Structure 1
Amino acid sequence: MELTARFEKLMGSFSVGTFEPWLAWIDWISGLDAEVENTKNDFDEFLERVVQDHTDGSGDKNDFVHVLLAIQREEHRV
């Protein structure tokens, strides 16, 4: 839940550098760039754990991640 809250906060943030690239340094000084990077890394770790749980066999066999992994395995066989 904390990770989702951080993501929602970032989605509502205003990035000066997006609209005026020459002012992108403001995003760095304000800490926005670091917060985006940290949140991205935390989401990546979370999703890696979800995939790992499913490849280890401990995840639910009837969920969306299982279906996506099955499609990926089929594509590798072709």
Structure 2
Amino acid sequence: MQKNIIKISKWLSMILFIGVVLIGIRNILLDIPSLLPIFTFYGVILLIIISVYKWKKDKFISYMNSIKKVKLP
């Protein structure tokens, strides 16, 4: 019973923290609307970099696996 109470309190505190952070971000963006395009621009660049990194990593892993399959004399 006590473990359930601890679990519930952890989840409630995490939900409260996330809510406060989201409200703070919303207030910042509403106060300074000129920052929204900057955040969007850098967010898109970050997503492109992450996707290229994952694609290159997958290609590299498949290349290394194909090398392992080749038997050397």
Does the TM-score normalized on the shorter chain lie above 0.5?
Answer: no
TM-score, length basis structure 1: 0.41
TM-score, with length taken from structure 2? 0.44
Greater helix share, structure number? 2
Higher relative contact order, chain-length normalized (CA < 8 Å, sep 6+): 1
**Is the radius of gyration larger for structure 1 or structure 2?**
2
